[in-house]
Structure formats: structure tokens, C-alpha cells
Amino acid sequence: MKKHFLSLYLPLAWLLFSVTVTQSQEDILGQLSDIAIVEEKVMMPMRDGIRLATDIYRPKADGTYPIIFSRTPYNFNSWGDGEQRLGNARRALDYVKQGYIYVVQNERGRYFSEGEWDILGVPLTDGYDAFEWMKNQAWSNGKIGTIGCSSTAEWLMAVSALNHPSHAAMVPQGFGAGVGRVGNINEQGNWYRGGAEQMLFFAWLYGVEHDKFKPRIPAGATQEDLIRISRFYDLAPENPQVDMSEALSHLPIQDILKNVNGKREIFDKMIRRKPNDPEWFEGGLYHDNMEITTPSFWFTSWYDVSITPNLALFNHVRNNAKDAFVRDNQYLVIAPTLHCAYTRATENTIVGERSVGDARLNYNEQITKWFDLWLKAETNDFKETTPRVQYYTMGTNQWQTANTWPPENTKMTTFYLNSNGDANSRFGDGKLTTKQATTDNPDSFTYDPMAPVPSYGGNVCCTGNAVKGGSFNQMEMEARNDILVYSSDVLTEDTEVSGFIEATLYVSSDVKDTDFTLKLIDVAPDGTAYNLDETIQRVRYREGYDKELFMEKGNVYKVALTPLSTSNVFKKGHRIRIEISSSNFPRFARNLNTGGNNYDESVGVVAHNKVHHSKVHPSQIRIPIAKK
């Protein structure tokens, strides 16, 4: 089989269930034909006349059935090669065997669906109209469940807020691409973190965007014609391979896709949007002024790009939904894996370089029980046997349960940054202590945007070969003088950290604007330093994303960073460490330090940055430590 270029960039969005790759697609389709009525290329009408290409798999036996619905920007054409297509057929077979109708649909403007596609911007009404069409079919029992991971899940939260009466349950997985604003977190669908661009969508759009001059099926094509031509033309572009580790280094960043001859109409528009641009609030993103109305089983992972906003959304719904019924029917799983890689956990799960042990969980069984509870006219023991929160704790490498996130037995402990002014690199004197420094000996470092700190592992997705996600030994990175390193004393007992990690820095600089980055690290006695999570804050947005405030030389500014998240036991003999710098590239776009637009600039300014720590400027990190 030829290797599709898209596989370099697509997250594991379609691998929601294990796929036995030794089973051929023909075998699976043959089994489906024995038990299912298969309707391909059903052109489902939307309220504006646009038709969306839809495949329907339903049991041959008479009667009405509940529906499990997946809407996606990815290619699910049954004819051809590739894991996505095989996975779709496998899921259809599994669901039909369990007494469900499985419906999969392409978003408008994707493949055989009519209309124009816009990342994060397709009309919310498309979801509502699809529910309405499906519930009115003679084979429907009127109950619809939704499921998806990554971009296949991004639309679920906002469409839940439309409160269609048939939308009975959902299973969003790795869903950060659909989360716009939750409280003080404004990532706008993973485009930003702390006001700095996350470069994952730069690479992702190169791999998946269809050109505006793409071949198009004539309007009004019949289902028969669409099925016939789909055997020969699946409308999936195969882009020239690009070295994204090199491509993402291009300046200005607004020309990154142009520089590799990529399709850039959507990118050109989005790269100019600031974090609080009104357009973010006009598309398909969920924002916290919208009311989720659906029982939800949320799946997240520690090394996902959006773990903190994902957990913040779970808490927001559970604590703030107006309907007590909705509040009481929110459940959460947190796995120790990369983006959408839940079912790839093994007896010895390796995430990057670090083994996190046997991280397997009965995902499929739990999801089946969840849907059976809400979509079928039967009861089961899901609520009695499923903990509210299931989370995996690294270090001890075990699944744990709680009724809340963070777990109720955690207490925030403050560690202050301390040094004699020489915290540069792991060879410096930076410390994390429970006592504040008495005098201010700020730590200084030089940030040159032309020589940024390279991303090494981390909580990433979809950047091709530019960044490899997961946990990697940071010792070599920590030899750089443009990284400040602060470590606790050697721990005298095992210390579990589970929850949100908050950080407040007091900083100054000789430039108008710059970034500050932070990593949380578990340091073993031999010096091995495994990264747990990371964050960034663009200083111009330190007081909110609705205004830009620039720095003045000599002034010290308080900067609160977007929280980090983890569950990790720092074993006896280990140390808790943080790293602070001003770049983590190409995970995040470089700040060129000029105070300008940044996206249209090619020349940077070297920044001389300082982190202050004293009673007046108590730079600190607040860590949720679990009581024994």
C-alpha cells in the first residue's frame, strides 16, 4: 500500500477503538454486508440547501435502533487504503453487532460534502440539522449519541449547547480543538496558549486543507453517481512531503505555508486573529457562556496538547451547568498517553522515553455501557461501577479514582523561587523552597529569537517531524544558560502531585514584549529529568486577552501563567523542578520581542529578561500535593 502523506500529520483521531490490522478491509466489509444495511453517500440536507456526504450502517433486523453519530473533517471513504478507512469499517461492524446504527458524516466542504469548509467555523446548525434528519428516519428510536477524538470531537461541545432533544449522550475525546474560552483560559481551539500561537495548526492545515481550486462534484449529483465515482476518486489530496522541522522556522510566520507552496486561505485569515477577536466567537467553538446540556463521558490524556483546558471544561460543566441532571452526569478519564492514543496503552506504555507502566483500561467496555445507559431502553450498572474521575498517576504507575478534579485529598503547597542570581542552567543555584527570599537577586538570561530554546518532547500534537511528543530526559537542554532551573531539596518521602499547577512570576525586560515559558520536571537521583507539562505566557496579555499592555524597561510585572496539569508521584530521593525561559520552539511561535504584530515580522530583537524573587516580588509555583 502507498503511504498517505496525511498520516504524517493527522492526530490519532480515528483510532478510538483498537483495529486488528491483520483483518483486511474486504473481510470487515464482507462481515458488515452480512449483518448490516449499508447506505453510502447519503446526501443529508442542511437548512441552507447544502448536502453533507453521509454513510449509514444499520442492522438488517426490523425495528428501530439508537444512533451513534460521528462527524469529521477526515476521509472515511470505504474504498482505498489507510488506517482511517479500516478503522471506520471496524467501528461500524462493532456498533451494528451491539444493536446500534452507526452514522459517519463529512463536515461541509470536505471530500464529497458540499459547501465551503472553515476550520472551527462550520455552522453549528449543521449538527442540529443532522440530528433532526436522523431522528425522523423510520429506523431511528429517536436517541442519538455522539463520539469523536480531536477534530472529530471539536464540534460536540458547542452543538450540545443547542439542546437538541435527541442528543442523549456524548463521548468527547482529546477535544481541546473545540474549546474556545473557559474562565481565564483563552486557547481558541488550541490556536493559542497564553497568547502565544501553538504551531500545531500550521502543520496540520498544510496536511489537511483542501485547495479552493480542488475538483468538485457537480451540484445535485445522485447518490448512485457518488457511490460509483467514489470507487475511483476519493478527493483526498496528497501533498508533497515537507520537513516541518525546517518549514516552521520560516519568518514571517504568516508566510510559512506560502513558503512550502501550501494551501493557505484559511491560515491567512487565522494567523491575523488576536486571542479575543470577535471571529473566534462566531464559528463552531465552545465558550463558557454556552450551556452544555448533554450527559458526557470525557476522555483526556496527560501528554495531550490541551490537557488543562480540557480539565477546566469538565469542571466548568460539572460545577456550573444550570440543570442538576446535567451536572450529575459528567464523567472523566485521564490517561498517561499522547493525543488520542488511549487504546495504544500496553503492559509497558512508553510515552516519549519514559515508561509509565501498564496503563491499559477497559475503554471500549465503559463506552459501550455509557451509550447503552442513555440510548437504549435498558438500565445497567455504569453509574454504580464507574468512578466519577479515573486518572492515571505516573511514578507509581497506577489508575486511581476520585469524585472531583483535583482529587479532594489534595492541598496546594507554595514553593518560592530562590537563588543568588545564578539560576542559569542545571549547574546554577536555583532552588524551590517553602520560604520566600529575603532580598531580590533576580536571575537574568538572554533570549535571542533567532536561537530559541528548542522544543524537546512535551504535550504536543500534529506537528509532523517538528516535535516528538511525550516525556524525554531534559538534562542536555538544562545545560543552556537561557534556561533558568529551580529545584526542590531531595524529597524524603514519596510525594504525589495531582491537579492544576499554578505559577506566578515577577519579570522585567529591556524590550516591549516577550514570552515566559515554564516546564514541570521530575528529577531522579541520577539527574534524569522527565518533563510532565509546560506552558507559556505572552507578557502583553498579562492582564487579559482583551487588551495589550507593553513593558517598560526597569519596571517589574506580575505574570500569572496558564496552569499546568499532571498526576505524578515524585519518588523518595527525587526532586521537583521547574524550568523557566522565553521560548519553546516550535511548540510555540517565537516572540520577536518588538511589540509589533509578530506574525508579519522577520527580524527579532534580543531580549535581556529577568525573573525576580523576594518578599516584594514572590515568584512562585503552587503545587497540589495529595495527603496520605
CATH of residue 199:
3.40.50
For 8, 9, 88, 233, the CA distances from 5, given in Å and listed in that order, are: 6, 8, 19, 17
CA atoms within 13 A on the CB side of 76: 29
Alpha-carbon distance of 58 to 140, in angstroms, equals: 10
pLDDT digits (tens, 9 = 90+) for 311-343: 999 999 999 999 999 999 999 999 999 999 998
Beta carbons within 8 Å of 225's beta carbon, 6+ residues apart: none
φ/ψ of 505, rounded to 5, equals: -115, 145
Alpha-carbon distance of 84 to 75, in angstroms, equals: 7
Residue 237 included in any domain:
yes
pLDDT of residue 19: 39
- Going by DSSP bridges, is the β-strand pair 167-173/296-303 parallel, antiparallel, or unpaired? parallel
On whether both 588 and 460 belong to a single domain, the answer is: yes
Containing 226, the helix (H) or strand (E) segment is helix 223-230
Containing structural domain, residue 491: 410-626
Domains of the chain: total:
2
The C-alpha cell at 594 is: 518588538
Residue 63 included in any domain:
yes
What one-character DSSP code corresponds to residue 335? E
Task: Answer for the pair 142, 150: CB distance below 8 angstroms, yes or no.
Answer: no
Residue 316 included in any domain:
no
Residue 308 included in any domain:
no
pLDDT digits (tens, 9 = 90+) for 562-595: 999 999 999 999 999 999 999 999 999 999 999 9
Among the candidates 290, 320, 353, a domain finishes at: 290
Among the candidates 290, 320, 347, a domain finishes at: 290
Q: Which 3 state secondary structure label does DSSP give 134?
A: helix
* Overall average pLDDT of the 155-171 stretch: 97
Alpha-carbon distance of 625 to 566, in angstroms, equals: 11
pLDDT of residue 233: 87
pLDDT digits (tens, 9 = 90+) for 230-264: 888 888 888 899 999 999 999 999 999 999 999 88
Q: What percent of the chain has pLDDT over 90?
A: 85
Residue 330 included in any domain:
no
Among the candidates 269, 290, 311, a domain finishes at: 290
For 199, 230, 350, 357, the CA distances from 469, given in Å and listed in that order, are: 14, 35, 11, 18
CATH of residue 596:
2.60.120.260
Cα Rg of the chain, angstroms:
25
pLDDT of residue 350: 97
pLDDT digits (tens, 9 = 90+) for 400-433: 999 999 999 999 999 999 999 999 999 999 999 9
pLDDT digits (tens, 9 = 90+) for 265-312: 899 999 999 999 999 998 899 999 999 999 999 999 999 999 999 999
* Overall average pLDDT of the 75-98 stretch: 79
* Average of per-residue pLDDT values in the chain: 93
pLDDT digits (tens, 9 = 90+) for 362-400: 999 999 999 999 999 888 999 999 999 999 999 999 999
Q: Is the pLDDT of residue 15 over 80?
A: no
Containing 368, the helix (H) or strand (E) segment is helix 363-375
Residue 392 included in any domain:
no
Residue 270 included in any domain:
yes
* Overall average pLDDT of the 90-119 stretch: 94
Residue 459 included in any domain:
yes
At 9, the pLDDT band (50, 70, 90 cuts) reads very low
CA 216 to chain centre: 31
Task: Answer for the pair 537, 515: CB distance below 8 angstroms, yes or no.
Answer: yes
Alpha-carbon distance of 157 to 381, in angstroms, equals: 26
The C-alpha cell at 23 is: 483483518
